[in-house]
Structure 1
Amino acid sequence: MLLANIFLLCWHYDRLKFLLPIKDPQPVNLPKPIKYSNKFPIKFVLGSASAVAVIIAGVISMSTYAVMPENSNGDCISRYEGTNRTTAAAEFCDCVHNKGLPLDTCLEIYENTPDDVATTNK
């Protein structure tokens, strides 16, 4: 929405420039062009698309951790039920929720905790 508003303000700059605190704006009567150029809208759309792509890339890069804490300790532990990392997950969740250590430290503890012993199928 912000990008659309900026687009409209730029598009109608010639009408709005008299509202800006610029020294002595002189009204200029320019002849109406025979053919309008699409140069500005195309550049604006490309710029807006690249801004959205950067935002999406930022959101994706923030969620690159394979292990993330949930909102509560119980939710965090239940996320790993049925895996071979329940002990490591319990240590990780305790580290984040109860001890309050930084995420990088807790991830290091998670990675250094050995896997649970796999049960043999009979």
Structure 2
Amino acid sequence: MKLSGQLQQFQEEARYNIWFRIFTVFCRVALAASFIPSGIVKIMGERFTALPPNNPLGHYFDALHLTGYYYTFIGITQLCIALLLLIPRTAFLGALAYFPVIINICILTYATRFEGTRIVTLMVLANLYLLCWDYKRLKAILWSASLPKGSLSKKFPFAFAGFVILAIAAVVLGNQFLYEIRPGNSMPECKNQSAGSKNPEGCAIFCDCIYQKGLPLDSCVKQYKQSKIYQKRLR
């Protein structure tokens, strides 16, 4: 059997497994819950985050906050997507609408080295799972496909559960070592990195560049790398 056929068979069997169904509901509720508070804040016209203005991501959210009704529009969109995810009949449409939004947020968090990147990455994976859950409906966008019928299975998917745990561990640990230095969410948090850093002087320069001088992230990273080269020469 071809790989595509094996994956399709696995998906069909999963749809009639109670544990997969519980996990699917959990993903829908979790993703919806992540959009509801942020959507309400935007509709009310309040600042979305407590990040200081000199934080790279804080720069972005401050600019976004000043876009007027576009900021409100984003909040309304997030609430609508959350509502679609919570209603079983529209959950697939909600997952489709959620995907481009969360991909955009994910790339943004990686670009600014945001501390919440791990959670956002897990949200992307959960969204991909929901799209795979409705694989037949996804195919039906291009051509007609009927949903399979069968009896509900109570067999616990140990292999899939292990894969989920490994994926979470990979995201958490991978992000831990992805960047040598991050701006953190505040000046003290940023400077705390110097304790385990091989370049504590450079860490202090980087944090001052972000929070005291308010320079762009790329400029501060460049200063950090230059200080690192300078420290190696001194040794």
TM-score, length of structure 2 as denominator length: 0.29
How far apart in 2 are the matches of 1:90 and 1:110?
Answer: 9
TM-score, length of structure 1 as denominator length: 0.51
Q: Does 1:88 align with 2:186?
A: no
Q: Which of 110, 114, 117 lines up with 2:228 in the alignment?
A: 114
What is the aligned partner in structure 1 of residue 186 from structure 2?
Answer: 72
Q: Does 1:59 align with 2:86?
A: no
| Cα displacement string for residues 82-103 of structure 1 (whole angstroms, at most 9, x for unaligned residues) | 1213222111101011112122
Letter in 1 for 2:214: G
Q: Which of 218, 227, 232 lines up with 1:104 in the alignment?
A: 218
Letter in 1 for 2:183: P
Measured after TM superposition, the shift of residue 45 of structure 1 is 4.2
Q: Secondary structure at the match of 2:195?
A: coil
After TM superposition, the runs of 4+ consecutive aligned structure 1 residues lying more than 4 A away are none
RMSD: 2.8
Where relative contact order (Cα < 8 A, 6+ residues apart) is larger, the structure is 2
- How many pairs does the alignment contain? 82
Q: Which of 80, 92, 107 lines up with 1:2 in the alignment?
A: 80
- Structure 1 residues not aligned, in runs of 5+: 9-40, 118-122
How far apart in 2 are the matches of 1:48 and 1:89?
Answer: 42
| Cα displacement string for residues 52-106 of structure 1 (whole angstroms, at most 9, x for unaligned residues) | 1222222221222334323432221103421213222111101011112122211
How far apart in 2 are the matches of 1:85 and 1:59?
Answer: 31
- Structure 2 residues not aligned, in runs of 5+: 1-78, 114-178
Structure with a larger share of its residues in helix: 2
Contact 2:209–2:215 at 8 Å: present in 1 too? yes
